[in-house]
Structure 1
Amino acid sequence: MKRILYLLEIILGIALFLLAAYVFTSEQTKTISGNCIGFGSVLIVFGIGNLVYSFVLSKEKESALLKQKMIEVNDERNVAIKEKSGAKVNQIMTYLLSAFVIGLSLFGADKAIIICAASLILIKGLLYVLMVNRYARVL
């Protein structure tokens, strides 16, 4: 069943690629043609990769790998590492966004752009408060 889906993925990618080459040829549809080529190429490559992978891996080996992966994903040490690294990335991104907003204002960017960038910091702070409250109730 999966192999049929992979074949359909390849066929859809080829169809998008051909659609871009023969249907969307005018100057007005250049953007659509580029998108079709891009998405079609991605679908073809992923479809071929998944199809080859399905032939190489047996069902028993695939289920064993999936089981091992689930154990590693749910391992407490790995979960703690992911949570700590996510918190550190969040902290660094706050500083980077703040520097970005200050840089935009120093370079004389439009006020609307500065407000949009600054609103990202406010949204991040709001999401932080909401998540802390949610996890305080759940855990």
Structure 2
Amino acid sequence: MRTLARSVVLIILLAGCASATGEIRREGTDPIIFVHDLEGGMEMKVGGTLTYNPSSKCLFLTHTQGGNVEMAPLIWPEGTEPLLHAGKRGVNVPGKGQILQGDQVDGAGGGIDPARLAGITPPPGCLSAEKITPIAITQFN
């Protein structure tokens, strides 16, 4: 049943990703973030809590899916910069401002095929959190 639920989530995530044809790259050292220059077609609702994993030094979106708590890797819009502020890790997003660990993330985006990330060498656990599809955020509410 759990595999079926994850398959449905993957299909929904990929459906939110109509035209994902841009560069994805790694930025920063602590936190480590991933940034995209993707355009259009990504309108799936994205929401949850920004979570920092100290062992991987990466940021995740923690959300509940089908009664299970999941941590999805995040890929941020172009121009987003990693941030350490008052002891909390996060990002500074152009046009949005600071989002720190523990803050709510509310926006839109879509799932990214993990194969598109093959050229990026992240620390273990950054882009493969329990085989959850990475989410590219394209806009914020």
Structure 1 length normalisation: TM-score? 0.19
Higher relative contact order structure (alpha carbons within 8 Å, sequence separation ≥ 6): 2
Structure 2 length normalisation: TM-score? 0.19
Richer in helix (by share): 1
From the CA coordinates, give the structure whose radius of gyration is larger: 1
